[in-house]
Amino acid sequence: MKIPFYDFSREQSCIGDDVRSAIDRVLASDRFILGHELALFEKEFARLCSCQYAVGVASGTDALFLALKAMGTGPGDEVITVSHSFAATALAILYTGATPVFVDIEDNSYHMEPNLLKKAITKHTKAVIPVHLYGTCAPMSAINEIAKAHGIYVLEDACQAHGALYKGNPAGSLGDAAAFSFYPTKNLGAYGDAGMITTNDATLYEKLLLLRNYGQRNRYHYEMIGYNSRLDEMQAAILRTKLGSLSRWIQKRQEIALQYDSGIRDIDMQGLSLEKGSTHVYYLYVIAVDDRDDLMTYLSDRGIETLIHYPVPIHMHKPFQDAKIIGQLRNTELRSSQVLSLPLHPFLHDDEIGWIIESVQGYYA
């Protein structure tokens, strides 16, 4: 049995006709940039996130970068985040000219340790970027309380948390702004690059509209230095089509995760604790084991593709050698040596799920 990490052919067999209809609709409109489809998708996605505003941009990376720019982030500023994430989280900080400041993650989750956030804040701190990793939200109550006390912005990196709840409130509504990625493998993925920024702040929203479109409000009249970062009509139409399936697909992911939890619960691996009213939408199903590399090879030999998210912490890469590190990132470095992502998507078959569980059990037998 060959089990790829993700199977787009199965997704296409499920929604292919609807996607083609959406593409045809855009082709017939003769409008490919900043048109009707994007306007509708922004409203629909804002509603999903319980936000007043949503701004479609070219990628999740741009969503992080432009949100920081709208907050006034630049050279001389510091932005606090975690090193256990995709590099875009910290690259967006570098793009503004600011300095990334890394704090460790909690020992019982993959999220920012709030007490370390408090220690990292200086007079130069402009913002904090908590990362909602793997499909669960960071401890936002504590993070927001600290940020408010020090007058700094909170930018959610929600690129892996479409539809996740924190104490009953959706990712995207938990800070001053939030960045989402619609990379194809995400729970809500485009067929190319695409991103979104959500906010309830009207001032940030107005700045973002300018920043994503060359700094112009009216054509050829520029009010600030802007960028070319617009979510195009084709991707917006595709995402609108897929948005209708998101809740059903999340439910399927959660059902598969429960099977994994039950089937491999006796294995000594790092679990996750959720606060009351919070949900895991399982963008990834991640286990943390000491013999990760050997297990990965064992599963590969049995036709099961696994991935590592993420094998090397951000602070250990050359582009971030001038970043600030607060304390020892022990949990970050430990987890990066342990984590392994098992296949999990809404189109897995029962026999495939069974084979994955059986194979993991077989390795530890």
How far apart (Å, rounded) are the C-alpha atoms in residues 3 and 305? 6
Q: Give pLDDT, residue 273.
A: 74
CA 329 centroid distance within chain = 21
Q: Give pLDDT, residue 274.
A: 83
SS3 82: strand
Are 239 and 293 in the same domain? no
Q: Give pLDDT, residue 272.
A: 73
R_g of the chain, CA atoms, integer Å: 20
Residue 211 covered by a domain: yes
Asked whether the beta carbons of 129 and 81 are under 8 A apart, the reply is yes
Are 93 and 219 in the same domain? yes
Are 88 and 185 in the same domain? yes
Can you give the length of the chain in residues?
Answer: 365
CATH number at residue 359: 3.90.1150.10
Residue 1 covered by a domain: no
Q: Give pLDDT, residue 271.
A: 67
Are 211 and 268 in the same domain? no
Task: Write down which residue in 243, 267, 284 finishes a domain.
Answer: 243
User: How many separate domains does the chain show?
Assistant: 2
The strand ranges marked E within 273-354 are: 285-288, 324-325, 339-342
Are 165 and 218 in the same domain? yes
Residue 2 covered by a domain: no
Are 193 and 326 in the same domain? no
Q: Residue 83: name the closest of 303, 263, 320, 252 by CA.
A: 320
Give the bridge partners for 195, in sequence order: 57, 181
Structure tokens at 242: 């897929």
One-letter identity of residue 151: G
Are 139 and 232 in the same domain? yes
Task: Write down which residue in 185, 215, 243 finishes a domain.
Answer: 243
Task: Write down which residue in 243, 264, 297 finishes a domain.
Answer: 243
SS3 156: strand
Are 79 and 199 in the same domain? yes
CATH number at residue 197: 3.40.640.10
Helix or strand (DSSP H, E) at 311:
none
**Eight-state DSSP code of residue 109:** S
Segments forming the whole domain that contains residue 263: 246-364
Residue 183 covered by a domain: yes
Q: Along the 365 residues of the chain, how does pLDDT read in single tens digits?
A: 899 999 999 999 999 999 999 999 999 999 999 999 999 999 999 999 999 999 999 999 999 999 999 999 999 999 999 999 999 999 999 999 999 999 999 998 999 999 999 999 999 999 999 999 999 999 999 999 999 999 999 999 999 999 999 999 999 999 999 999 999 999 999 999 999 999 999 999 999 999 999 999 999 999 999 999 999 999 999 999 999 999 999 999 999 999 999 999 877 677 677 888 999 999 999 999 999 999 999 999 999 999 999 999 999 999 999 999 999 999 999 999 999 999 999 999 999 999 999 999 999 98
Helix or strand (DSSP H, E) at 128:
strand 125-128
How far apart (Å, rounded) are the C-alpha atoms in residues 52 and 66? 18
